[in-house]
């Protein structure tokens, strides 16, 4: 069993389940780091966990976004060929696939952040020090700052 100083761990299924409904993967709160559809706070406003836990975090979100978008295009192609068979109306088909390619990345944008954070937390659980820092940031009101400002304030604190 873990000692009292060991940081709590979350089951992987719970992390991803929370991420899928756009809540904080770590604490499950709806008051998470998402700020509207395209903007983000520095941290979850409830537990204080930061979404950019390391440099290059966005590469993971972009990868998730690309994989989901390409899968959606493949599914749309499968449905199109299923519906039209070999008699595909090419222009309409290309326009539909183009619409999927443009709309899907926008539609899943916040989801890719919560999903990638869930993945990151499952392979790299936070240390006690990270959780303590997160709660201190919430207490200090740093969680509701845009990322760049929040990081700057954190470093100077």
Distance, CA of 15 to CA of 33 (rounded, Å): 15
CB of 69 to Zn ion, least distance (A): 27
Gap between the Cα atoms of 98 and 93, Å rounded: 8
Residues 76-115 binding Zn ion (CB under 5 A) are: none
End-to-end Cα spacing for the chain: 35
Binding-site residue total for Zn ion (CB under 5 A)? 7
Nearest residue to 100 via CA among 76, 64, 83:
76
Burial of 118 (C-beta count, 10 Å sphere; 0-12/13-18/19+)? buried
**Contacts with Zn ion in 12-31 (CB under 5 A)?**
24, 26-27, 29
Query: Which of 102, 117, 104, 137 has the alpha carbon at shortest distance from 22?
Result: 117
CB closer to Zn ion out of 24 and 111: 24
CB of 31 to Zn ion, least distance (A): 8
How many other β-carbons are positioned within 10 Å of the β-carbon of residue 29? 14
Instruction: Pick the closer one to Zn ion by CB: 29 or 151.
Output: 29
Site string for Zn ion, 32-61 (x = CB under 5 A): ------------x-xx--------------
Minimal distance, residue 51 CB to Zn ion, in Å: 10
Q: Which is nearer to Zn ion, 26 or 119 (CB)?
A: 26
- Interface with Zn ion (CB under 5 A): 24, 26-27, 29, 44, 46-47
């Amino acid at each position: 069993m873990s000692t009292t100083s060991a940081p709590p761990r979350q089951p992987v299924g719970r992390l991803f389940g929370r991420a899928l409904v756009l809540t904080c993967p770590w604490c499950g709160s709806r008051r998470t780091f998402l700020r509207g559809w395209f903007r983000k706070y520095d941290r979850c406003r409830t537990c204080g966990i930061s979404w950019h836990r390391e440099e290059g975090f966005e590469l993971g979100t972009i990868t998730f976004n690309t994989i989901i978008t390409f899968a959606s295009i493949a599914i749309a192609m499968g449905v199109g060929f299923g519906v039209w068979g070999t008699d595909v109306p090419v222009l309409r088909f290309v326009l539909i696939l183009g619409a999927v390619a443009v709309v899907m990345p926008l539609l899943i944008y916040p989801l890719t952040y919560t999903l990638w954070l869930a993945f990151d937390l499952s392979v790299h659980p936070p240390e006690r020090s990270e959780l303590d820092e997160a709660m201190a940031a919430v207490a200090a009101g740093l969680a509701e700052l845009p990322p760049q400002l929040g990081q700057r304030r954190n470093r100077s604190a």
